[in-house]
Structure 1
């Protein structure tokens, strides 16, 4: 899995990088077929009092790309929200793949097989 973390209007420190990497381990536990991950962390300054922290991620896997973003006042909370959303979407994608593989098998009703 290739991981790229970048920051816009934000200096990325090692604790932030470590936090993102530990949170992404949760995704890797559920689904191993991840090819490339791009994380963008940014700060939006609307006014002097309002500052929004934005975290977004693009997860490339075989046959699909998942994009998730979250906005919060705290950067760590924005990362947590982003990972929660991503986790739900990855599990949903994994369920679709597993259900699709068993879709071709048709069962014969018992009433017809007895006759």
Structure 2
């Protein structure tokens, strides 16, 4: 389970907007269940043309992912693009880290007898018998 924080700068983030954002972010949680928090910021830029800027940061243990999308005042397409960007990052991160993890195998664990034999061998080497 993750916490979702939605904030808007110069944008009204009503219940409908929050529901749409939550629905889209739930898709990311299905890809990686280690997500602890997602922060989404909705912003408008009022220079020559009105643009909607949607930013999101996703926190998973040991790493933060970030994506930004600028569109022309359309929330759903912006969220779709944002989720696609974050999805790629999550898949890449997951692939990168699952290859590195060492799975403990029963054959990798040293038994008490093996530790005793190794200690005896080390002692013989130390006394220069072997």
Structure with greater strand percent = 1
Which structure 1 residue ranges, 5 or more long, are not aligned?
104-115
Residue 53 of structure 2 corresponds to which residue in structure 1?
54
Matches within 5 A, 1:1-115: 1-47=2-48, 50-73=49-72, 74-101=74-101
User: Which has the bigger relative contact order, CA under 8 A and spacing at least 6?
Assistant: 1
How far apart are 1:102 and its partner, in Å?
5.3
The answer (yes or no) to whether the contact 1:35–1:61 under 8 Å persists in 2 is yes
* Segments ≥4 residues shifted beyond 3 Å: none
Structure with the largest fraction of helix: 2
Q: Distance in 1 between matches of 2:93 and 2:34?
A: 11
Mind listing any 5+ residue stretches in structure 2 that lack a counterpart? 104-130
Which structure has the bigger radius of gyration? 2
RMSD: 1.4
TM-score normalized with structure 1 length: 0.83
Give the structure-2-normalised TM-score. Answer: 0.74
- Counting matched residue pairs gives 101
